[in-house]
Amino acid sequence: MQNNRKPKVLIVDDEKALRAGTKRLLASEGYEVDTAENGAEGIKLGTSCDYDIALIDLKMPDIDGIQVLQKIIKAFPNTVCIIATGYASYETAIEAAKIGAFSYIPKPFSPEEIFQKLKEAFYKRQILLEAEKLKKERGERLLEVAFEKTRLNTIINSITDGLLVVNKEGQAVLYNPSALKYLQLDNIKIEEYILDKLHPEITGLINKILSTQKFEHKSYSTQIDLNREHQIFVEATSSPVPLPNGSLAGVVVVIKDITGLKKLEILKSQFVSMVSHELKAPIAAVYGYLKLFSDESIVITKEQEKNYILRSQGRLDSLLKMVNDLLDISRMEMKKVNREIKALKILPIINSVIELFQNELKGKEIFLKLNSSENIPFIYADNDEITRVITNLISNAIKYNRPGGTININLDSTASYLSIEITDTGIGMKQQEKEKLFQEFFRAKNEMTRDINGTGLGLSIVKRIIDFYAGKIEVESEFGKGTSFKINLPLRSGMFKTEKEGQIVLNEI
């Protein structure tokens, strides 16, 4: 309490000498004093300012002190009023108390008497103020709690995961709109028994906790296929809710949509199955030949044997290549490719790849022609990746070409992109084969491709690389006539600044 503060006092009295004398007396002690010479003025002052104490004469010519007191208390209930009266009696005291006066003082009064009264009154005043302050604070806290509750509700309702709380009796206590969606219910009534309306697996999760009837830090979860037709998978987790005393209050169930994850999982296992199948095929082929060699009841000629050994080697080579390609794809997927992006000249890369294929070209008597317009600009890329793209495409152009065929490579550029076109006079593709060309493990299978080995991953890797550089790959093909691959690579990009060949401009991991 503020004990150092001096009270502010209003004196309402028609006796001028008393007014002035009291004022002087109180002011000498540091009190702040206002005076009113009649009832009307007393009301005017007392209702316009929250005085600590009002000292009111009971008998005044215009308005009596009781009315003045009533008006003041109505305006400021915490102003402590003292009635001053020349006719002090027991009755007066009772009457004064009845109408809301704190106390009364008989006139005339000594300085000690008035100071004693004012001291008591001021103490009362401070208690009143303190009480009011506490009341106000309590009100504010209640408001805060209410606000907190609304805020919490808003948050719970905004969560995309479903949330349902049930009590020990299995009645719904709290839920959010997402819960309705995942529980496939139109509405939930608070305090209604709900366990019989839920998906049996969710009811099971809740019962696992309710059946123990005590609080343990243990959660249970399960994945549920909510809708086979629309493929909605959710993961529901039930956790116990404790009471403050540590016993079990109920169960909270959180339901999360895991459809995306689940689909990814399915894709992943399909991919694994496909890989296993592709790896098993060459193993089965080689195994079959080896069995022939070891089985004495089977007669094979020397020539057949040589042929089967060669083909086994071919299958093993492509198996090895497939494993390496798979590792590459996995690195790309994991984004663990260490690229060294620098300014590259494409022509020397193409020439070095052609050099590597000299034996194959000669063996199949394929004529390769390279046309390049002048001043082909640098591209900004990783040397190994671009080499890989060129290698895979030229390798295909040789593999799927006919003996004595040709391969045309055209290199050109515009202001914004570089284009590489590789055209062969090979066996071409059917429309339905073209559509699946960039899928992992897809290989055109027809009467003309039966002796061509491959992993079915080469073009898928090409596509991944071209995609990384924001390029485009197009294919044109006619069955029996040949195929043409055209790659467009963007030349300039804001992030690359150098013009010098070989200078590293960006290291990307």
- In the complex with another protein, the residue whose CB is nearer, 43 or 326, is 326
Stretch that binds another protein, among 97-105, 238-246, 268-276, 352-360 (CB under 8 A): 268-276
Q: Is 298 in the site for another protein (CB under 8 A)?
A: yes
Q: Does 264 bind another protein (CB under 8 A)?
A: no
Q: What are phi and psi of 341, to 5 degrees?
A: -85, 120
Which DSSP category does 195 fall into? G
d(CA 309, CA 296): 17
- For residue 450, the minimal CB distance to another protein (Å) is 5
| Full strand arrangement of the beta sheet holding 482-490 | 367-372, 406-413, 417-424, 482-490, 472-478
Answer yes or no whether residue 284 interacts with another protein by CB under 8 A. yes
Among 220-228, 250-258, 296-304, 319-327, which window interacts with another protein (CB under 8 A)? 296-304
Q: How far is the CB of 174 from another protein (least distance, A)?
A: 42
Q: Out of 102, 122, 233, 308, name the contact with another protein by CB under 8 A.
A: 308
Shortest CB 312 distance to another protein, Å: 8
Query: Binder to another protein among 150, 184, 212, 269 (CB under 8 A)?
Result: 269
Question: Helices in 199-301 by DSSP H: which ranges?
Answer: 200-210, 259-294
99 or 309, CB closer to another protein?
Answer: 309
CB nearer another protein, residue 115 or residue 271: 271
Site for another protein in 444-503 (CB under 8 A): 445-447, 450-451
Task: Verify binding: residue 434, another protein, rule CB under 8 A.
Answer: no
Considering only 73-81, 150-158, 308-316, 465-473, which stretch makes contact with another protein by CB under 8 A? 308-316
Query: What type of residue sits at position 106?
Result: P
- CB count in 10 Å sphere of residue 154: 9
Q: Would you state the torsion angle of the CA atoms of residues 251, 257, 258, 260, taken in this order, to the nearest 10 degrees?
A: -170
247 binding another protein? (CB under 8 A): no
- Residue 297 DSSP label: T
d(CA 94, CA 90): 6
- Of 233, 289, 400, 417, the residue at the interface with another protein (CB under 8 A) is 289
| Angle made by CA atoms 244, 163, 203, in degrees to the nearest 5 | 90
* 313 belongs to the binding site for another protein (CB under 8 A): no
- The per-residue DSSP string of 308-346 comes to HHHHHHHHHHHHHHHHHHHHHHHHHHTT---EEEEEE-H
Which residue in the set 281, 309, 316, 332 belongs to the binding site for another protein (CB under 8 A)? Answer: 281
Alpha helices, DSSP H, located in 357-501: 358-363, 383-399, 431-435, 458-468
152 versus 283: smaller Cβ distance to another protein: 283
Q: Identify residues 112-151 at the interface with another protein (CB under 8 A).
A: none
Identify which of residues 63 and 300 has a Cβ nearer to another protein in the complex. 300
Does 273 contact another protein by CB under 8 A? yes
Which part of the chain contacts another protein (CB under 8 A), choosing from 171-179, 241-249, 281-289, 483-491?
281-289
Please, how many CA atoms are within 13 Å of residue 134, restricted to the half-sphere of its CB? 7
Using only C-alpha atoms, what is the Rg of the chain?
48
Strand partners, 255: 162, 236
**Cβ neighbourhood burial of 485 (10 Å; 0-12, 13-18, 19+):** buried
Determine the 3-state secondary structure of 14 from DSSP.
coil
Q: Tell me the one-letter amino acid at 89.
A: S
Measured from the CB atom, the residue of 93 and 292 that comes closer to another protein is 292
Residues 173 and 206: their CA atoms lie apart, in Å, by 14
CB of 119 or CB of 291, closer to another protein: 291
Binding residue (CB under 8 A) for another protein from 186, 196, 299, 355: 299
Least Å from the CB of residue 307 to another protein: 9
Minimum distance from residue 282 beta carbon to another protein (Å): 8
Q: Smallest distance from the beta carbon of 278 to another protein, in angstroms? A: 9
Least distance CB 299 / another protein (angstroms)? 6
Judged by CB under 8 A, the residue of 199, 256, 315, 399 near another protein is 315
Single residue of 280, 345, 481, 497 touching another protein by CB under 8 A:
280
Copy the structure tokens of residue 40: 């009307």
Q: What span, in angstroms and rounded, lies between the C-alpha atoms of 267 and 125?
A: 79
Task: Name the nearest CA neighbour of 209 among 239, 232, 235.
Answer: 239
Binding-site residue total for another protein (CB under 8 A)? 32
Residue 274 binds to another protein (criterion: CB under 8 A) = yes
Can you give the binding site for another protein, defined by CB under 8 A?
269-270, 273-274, 276-277, 280-281, 283-289, 291-292, 295, 297-300, 304, 308, 311-312, 315, 445-447, 450-451
